[in-house]
Amino acid sequence: MTNEKNVKYYDNLAVASSPHLVTALDTQKTMMWVLIALIPSFIASVFYFGAGAVILTVVCAACSMFFEWGYERLLGKKVTVKDLSACVTGVILAMNLPANLPVWMAVIGCFVAIVIVKQLYGGLGRNFANPAIVGRIVLLLSFTSYMTTWPVTRLNQTADALTGATPLGLLADGALAEAPSLKDMFLGNIGGAMGETCTIAILIGLVILIAKKIISPIIPCFYIGTVFVFSLIYYSVTGGDYSALHMALFHTLAGGVVFGATFCATDYVTSPIMKYAKVAYGIGCGLVTMIIRLFCAYPEGASFAILFMNVMTPLLDMVAQNYFYGIGAAEKAAKKAAKEAGKEAAK
Amino acid sequence: MFGAKHLNSIHAGHYKNTAGCATEVMPVPDVVKISMSQNIGAPCKPLVKKGDSVLVGQKIGDTDAFLHVPVHASVSGVVTGIETQRNAMGGYDTLVVIESDGKQEIDPSIKPPVITDQPSFISAVKESGLVGLGGASFPTWLKFNPRNLGEPMTLIINGAECEPFITSDHRTMLEDAQNIIDGALMIMKYIQAPMCYIGIEDNKQDAIDQFNRMFAEQGITNIKTFPLQASYPKGAERVLIYEVTGKTCNAGVLPADLGCIVSNVTSVAFLGQYLKDGMPLVKKRVTIDGDAVAKPGNVLLPIGTMIHDAIGFCGGYKEEPRKILMGGPMMGRAIFSDRMPIVKNNNAILAFTKEQSLIPEETACISCGRCHNACPFNLLPTGFADAYEARDVKRLNDLKVMQCMECGSCSYICPARRPLAFINKLAKGLVREASQK
């Protein structure tokens, strides 16, 4: 006690509620990983469609960020451009467009996506539908001929054929014989939205996202799986010039299924949180896509399917919370595991 | 994808910097301040007054209330005052201030307890002043006296130590293993448990190996080590019960009702020692770490040592501290002053500099569901937050907010940096308030 005066005590330390540790991954880094996962698709689109792809992507990313910044400044809100979510929206929207779309139309798409779909509903985390998907659908309905005039890839260009049909367009017109080979569809050497054609590039992105635990594999697996299984069953029953397996692969590789399943349907905000709701969501996306493709007027239905399931998301989450929620779920699973272990022991 | 063998957990980094630091015994400080509120339940009333001289192990606090354990002097010397001090919870504690004479004379009445049957075992545990040393500070004697005594019980000893930074339980297991075995055998005898499991995370392989070797040498077959995944929060009581027995322990259910009694490894080690010499709980092994501490390590110090003195023993502050935690970074409590004394259930003191103390800025929820996937009990913290904002008690109950054990995994994992665990605590308070009306 003699040297009490010389001792320095600290009496106003910082207090906070536990925990006092936090993981390194934040929203910005999450969005960064999505952008990284989009790089292979971007490279493929530049390879197949040339400078137009670069221009559209840059314009969309820049416009989306600008609209977000402008809206938040105008309304005196905190500017959240740094979290990169607007940039992700812009790039995903660009990947959903034909590479020869006039730039001013893409700007309108970005405006719809960022201002109308995202910000008017309260900004990041509050939108009920995927901004990029709605942006695309608005452009599709407003500028249908531009949005369905697909440029031919550079490898297939000839002097008199700068544009051509997509595989699904050919299917809808009953001209399946002219459709490209499955190999070309897998590699992306087909007409279509610039990011959607090259399946292998998208799959690289998917692997990156799953490996970095940015997304759960449930939604992409069940979405793509449902499309495959549904078309397999459909063509087994109806028959046709090609085998059911060929048609199932055709439907999986054509159009926006793989891209949508990887980058659009897995959008955190507009997809369910609960695991079993994710399963239902993935299956629902697949079913609606196939129903539109096979029975409706549009050749392609991935965007509409994802939008439809976006709206279903709160319902799915609610149902899942009623049946698979809390520690009881773990208990049920443990009982099941114990039963299985018992069966194995009996064997 | 839907694996259920283990509950959800997070990998928060271990930071077990002091695992290799053998325990150092701290010399008796000049002054100790012994809190009268060192257990869940009623605080004790001081039995001594200013000017009394006390001896090591002398009982200085007790009460007639049911849920309590007595408090003992940790040093010999003179009582210089009875203070009240604001505690980390915002309430006030009564502290008995003892100025040490440095002699550490032991109270002559201290001798090994005579235990012949279950009631004498319980009363000996009560007199030892033992509380749950894992952090909850629940009076141990009550835990060992379950209402369904006689039903088949399993003793689970918690050596998981899943909190980052803390290594005091690890050191206890390495340095005090024989006491743990002796204590465990004694507890098993009186709670009528045929089997005992020591749950240890597999990042403490040396402790697991040592126990297995000792069991083999001593021919013990009814105690087994149970390696756990090294992830947080495997040491939480309800998680540990699930991992070891597969039984689901809901909040509000006593583990004993499921036939499990869980005790911290340090509590058991203390009991093993107490049965030999009868010295009540007056010292504690504490991990002192954090980037503001000059020489981090494990220290055995008298209960009531001021945190400032304890850090002084570890070379003092290297840099100016901004945040000091009692306990680990996941569930530990940030205290506002380093004049606070060490209490029985302290297992770590962590002092962090300004850089390590920044509270991240909260951003909007992106509904990524990471909090749900991290929650050991499969709850939905982001749903709690929405319902709490709306003060919707029914929704909070539907979401089973009272099942939350405040482990902090949701806040840790949240990419939007939302203080979800904090909101859960507030929400639980709201539900409790509503149920009292």
Q: Looking at residues B113-136, what average pLDDT do you find?
A: 90
Q: Hey, which residues 18-47 in chain B have their CB within 8 Å of chain A? A: 30-31
Q: For A154-163, A284-293, B274-283, which range has the lowest pLDDT when averaged over its residues?
A: A154-163
Closest CB to A20 among B320, B329, B369: B329
* Residues B321, A10: C-beta atoms closer than 8 Å: yes
* Residues A27, B379: C-beta atoms closer than 8 Å: no
* Least Cα separation, residue B171 to chain A (angstroms): 23
Instruction: Report whether pLDDT(B367) > 60.
Output: yes
User: What CATH number belongs to A27-322?
Assistant: 1.10.3430
Contact list in A for residue B422 (CB cut-off 8 A) is 17
Which pair of tokens denotes residue B5?
């063998």
* Residues A126, B364: C-beta atoms closer than 8 Å: yes
pLDDT at A220: 97
Residue of chain A whose alpha carbon sits nearest to that of B423: A17
What are the Cα distances from residue A24, in Å, to A27, A306, B175, B415? 10, 31, 35, 8
* Residues B399, A20: C-beta atoms closer than 8 Å: no
Cis, bond preceding B302 (omega within 30 deg of 0): no
Which of B248, B354, B394 should one mutate to test binding to chain A, selecting the residue with the greatest count of A CBs within 10 A?
B248
Going by the DSSP 8-state scheme, the letter that residue B395 receives in this structure is: H
* Residues A1, B99: C-beta atoms closer than 8 Å: yes
User: CA-to-CA distance for B74 and B307, rounded, in angstroms?
Assistant: 15
- Provide the pLDDT confidence category of residue A2 given band limits of 50, 70 and 90: very low
* Alpha helices in A115-243, H assignment, sequence order: 131-142, 144-147, 167-172, 182-187, 199-211, 218-238
Angle formed by the axes of helices A302-323 and A131-142, nearest 10°: 150
* Residues A27, B406: C-beta atoms closer than 8 Å: no
Q: Kindly state the helix (H) or strand (E) to which residue A87 belongs, with its residue range.
A: helix A85-95
* Residues B30, A26: C-beta atoms closer than 8 Å: no
pLDDT at A6: 62
Instruction: Report whether pLDDT(A74) > 70.
Output: yes
* Alpha helices in B176-322, H assignment, sequence order: 177-191, 205-218, 237-245, 265-277, 307-313
Q: Looking at residues A234-247, what average pLDDT do you find?
A: 90
* Residues B4, A336: C-beta atoms closer than 8 Å: yes
* Least Cα separation, residue A325 to chain B (angstroms): 6
Instruction: Report whether pLDDT(A330) > 70.
Output: no
| Span A200-237, pLDDT tens digits | 999 999 999 999 999 999 999 999 999 999 999 999 99
Residue of chain A whose alpha carbon sits nearest to that of B88: A15
* Residues B325, A80: C-beta atoms closer than 8 Å: no
* Least Cα separation, residue A310 to chain B (angstroms): 13
Q: Looking at residues B186-213, what average pLDDT do you find?
A: 93
* Residues B380, A23: C-beta atoms closer than 8 Å: no
User: CA-to-CA distance for B95 and B48, rounded, in angstroms?
Assistant: 11
User: CA-to-CA distance for A94 and A179, rounded, in angstroms?
Assistant: 25
What percent of chain A clears pLDDT 90, i.e. is strictly above it? 66
Q: Which residues have C-beta within 8 Å of that of residue B351, sequence separation ≥ 6?
A: B288, B290, B291, B292, B293, B311, B317, B321, B323, B324, B325, B338
Pick the CATH number of B118-277 from 3.40.50.300, 3.10.28.10, 3.40.50.720, 3.40.50.11540: 3.40.50.11540
| Domain span(s) for CATH 3.40.50.11540 in chain B | 118-277
Going by the DSSP 8-state scheme, the letter that residue A163 receives in this structure is: E
Contact list in B for residue A26 (CB cut-off 8 A) is 360, 363, 415-417
Going by the DSSP 8-state scheme, the letter that residue A255 receives in this structure is: T
* Least Cα separation, residue A318 to chain B (angstroms): 11
Q: Looking at residues B336-347, what average pLDDT do you find?
A: 91
| Span B374-414, pLDDT tens digits | 999 889 999 999 999 999 999 999 899 999 999 999 999 99
pLDDT at A242: 87
- Write down the domain spans for chain A: 27-322
- Whether B138 contacts chain A with CB within 8 A: no
Residue of chain B whose alpha carbon sits nearest to that of A221: B1
Contact list in A for residue B31 (CB cut-off 8 A) is 1
Q: Looking at residues B120-131, what average pLDDT do you find?
A: 92
User: CA-to-CA distance for A92 and A270, rounded, in angstroms?
Assistant: 15
Contact list in B for residue A86 (CB cut-off 8 A) is none
Cα dihedral B254, B257, B258, B263 sign: positive
Which pair of tokens denotes residue B94?
């009564």
Q: Would you list the DSSP string of A263-303? A: IITT-TTTS-SSHHHHHHHHHHHHHHHHHHHHHSS-S--HH
- Provide the pLDDT confidence category of residue B199 given band limits of 50, 70 and 90: very high
Residue of chain A whose alpha carbon sits nearest to that of B2: A275
Contact list in A for residue B7 (CB cut-off 8 A) is 330
* Residues A268, B368: C-beta atoms closer than 8 Å: yes
* Residues B363, A80: C-beta atoms closer than 8 Å: yes
* Residues B164, A329: C-beta atoms closer than 8 Å: no
Domain B27-109+281-355 is of which CATH architecture?
Answer: Roll (3.10)
Q: Looking at residues A272-295, what average pLDDT do you find?
A: 95
* Residues B330, A21: C-beta atoms closer than 8 Å: yes
A 10 A CB-CB count for B36 gives: 23
Instruction: Report whether pLDDT(B30) > 70.
Output: yes
User: CA-to-CA distance for A274 and A252, rounded, in angstroms?
Assistant: 26
Q: Would you list the DSSP string of B84-143? A: EEE-TTSSEEEEEEEEE-S--PBPTT-------SHHHHHHHHHHTT-B-TTTT--BHHHH
Strands B297-302 and B24-25: parallel
* Least Cα separation, residue A213 to chain B (angstroms): 10
pLDDT at B135: 76
| Span B49-88, pLDDT tens digits | 999 999 999 999 999 888 889 999 999 999 999 999 888 7
| Domain span(s) for CATH 3.10.20.600 in chain B | 27-109+281-355
Q: Hey, which residues 297-326 in chain B have their CB within 8 Å of chain A? A: 308, 320-325
| Span A86-145, pLDDT tens digits | 999 999 999 999 998 999 999 999 999 999 999 999 999 999 999 999 999 999 999 998
User: CA-to-CA distance for B172 and B178, rounded, in angstroms?
Assistant: 10
* Residues B415, A11: C-beta atoms closer than 8 Å: no
